[in-house]
């Protein structure tokens, strides 16, 4: 059973879209996902000590970190969705909300995957100090210290910085920005704050253009923003994104998806997508028999999770064992094969009047698979 139910995730995505339409909370949803995953430390192997996208931000010890000021408002918006869909994890929900906000604001389609496992206790939260600071003494060096620790490079640092095209900074939360500007005094949503761009609910490459031109004093430029055009390596990408929105969208989509996976523990280990018609069953690829004649170990298979409305959110149900799935599309074994199987069965101590123990059943099924493989070789 996957960590999250794919059908419930899809439904939750639609509910998030409705919240975005009515509350204009795109920026804080992006921040929610980022701050949950941005605590990852590549130098720590153990989960969850390594931090990352594990749902830890829902607990007070982490929520109270200075860099997370104001994110309690995001949790208040997202909690009813979690209550409605108990079959999904917080870790997946935070990243789903972040990705949906980007896409609904006009950004690129993000190659997201799901199946993140949640931590279970506040004691598992990462220590404070792993998230970036807006006004460090040496901005470029600070950005590299933080993002290199996560395993990200200069291109990804600049691309991810472009998400500041959304949102505002409020001095009462971060200590940065003006109380209000001509772009924020009337909302939408709660008025106030200072935005990086004029259309701060639209995802595009305006962030890079505005920093490069620096013509509008009403727009916010933090020290870490200015560093993107001051640092020679960062500047290569910042200049490129200011001129080419398609290039920015491509690199951003890849960097966002990578950030959302940092430190996560996935179940199934490879994760699953919601957009390839396989995500509706988190483990479809394992549950559906291969149409080609492939020898498989005759272990009980697990059916893909049914849609939430069919199972009331219950997990996947065991699929009845069907021998034909393991007989190369033949409905019946040949008489010769049946005799061989019977001989092996009796040789192991079984008979119609004396059922074998469960461990013998496994042995005989392995024998069946072996004989089927030999038969196919002889046929070929």
Which residues are the active-site residues?
A: 35
Among residues 347, 295, 358, 366, the alpha carbon closest in space to that of 325 is found at 295
Q: Which residues pair with 351 in a beta bridge?
A: 354
Residues 6+ apart with CB under 8 A from 31: 71, 74, 98, 167
φ and ψ of 64, to 5 deg: -85, 0
Residues 6+ apart with CB under 8 A from 346: none
Report the alpha-carbon distance of residue 176 to residue 170 in Å, rounded: 6
Report the alpha-carbon distance of residue 183 to residue 214 in Å, rounded: 16
- Pair 325, 297: CB distance under 8 Å: no
Structure token digits, residue 115: 């199946």
The angle that helices 72-84 and 90-104 make with each other, rounded to 10 degrees, is 110
Among residues 53, 228, 289, the alpha carbon closest in space to that of 150 is found at 53
Residues 6+ apart with CB under 8 A from 170: 70, 177, 179, 192, 193, 194
φ and ψ of 335, to 5 deg: -60, -40
Report the alpha-carbon distance of residue 11 to residue 84 in Å, rounded: 10
């Amino acid at each position: 059973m996957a960590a999250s139910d794919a059908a419930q995730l899809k439904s939750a995505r639609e509910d998030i879209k409705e919240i975005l339409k009515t509350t204009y909370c795109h920026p804080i949803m992006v921040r929610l996902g980022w701050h949950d995953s941005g605590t990852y430390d590549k130098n720590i192997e153990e989960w969850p000590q390594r931090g990352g996208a594990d749902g830890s931000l829902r607990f007070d010890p982490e929520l109270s970190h200075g860099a997370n000021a104001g994110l309690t408002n995001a949790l208040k918006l997202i909690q009813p969705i979690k209550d409605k869909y108990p079959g999904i994890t917080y870790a997946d929900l935070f990243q789903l909300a972040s990705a949906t906000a980007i896409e609904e604001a006009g950004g690129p389609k993000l190659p997201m995957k799901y199946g993140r496992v949640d931590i279970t206790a506040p004691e598992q939260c990462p220590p404070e100090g792993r998230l970036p600071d807006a006004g460090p003494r040496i901005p470029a060096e600070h950005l590299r210290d933080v993002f290199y620790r996560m395993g990200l490079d200069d291109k990804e640092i600049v691309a991810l910085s472009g998400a500041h095209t959304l949102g505002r900074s409020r001095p009462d939360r971060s200590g940065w920005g003006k109380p209000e500007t001509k772009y924020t005094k009337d909302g939408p949503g709660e008025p106030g704050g200072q935005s990086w761009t004029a259309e701060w609910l639209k995802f595009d490459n305006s962030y890079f253009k505005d920093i490069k031109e620096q013509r509008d004093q009403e727009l916010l430029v933090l020290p870490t923003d200015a560093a993107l055009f001051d640092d020679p390596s960062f500047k290569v990408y910042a200049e490129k994104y200011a001129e080419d929105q398609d290039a920015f969208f491509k690199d951003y989509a890849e960097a966002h998806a990578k950030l959302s996976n940092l430190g996560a523990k996935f179940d199934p280990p490879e994760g699953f997508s919601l957009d390839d018609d396989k995500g509706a069953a988190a483990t479809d690829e394992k549950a559906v028999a291969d149409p080609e004649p492939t020898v498989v170990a005759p272990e009980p298979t697990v059916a893909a999770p049914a849609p939430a409305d069919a199972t009331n959110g219950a997990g996947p149900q065991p699929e009845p064992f069907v021998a034909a799935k393991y007989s190369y599309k033949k409905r019946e074994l040949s008489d010769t094969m049946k005799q061989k199987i019977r001989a092996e069965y009796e040789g192991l101590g079984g008979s119609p009047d004396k059922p074998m123990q469960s461990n013998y059943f496994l042995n005989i099924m392995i024998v069946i698979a072996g004989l089927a493989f030999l038969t196919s070789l002889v046929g070929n």
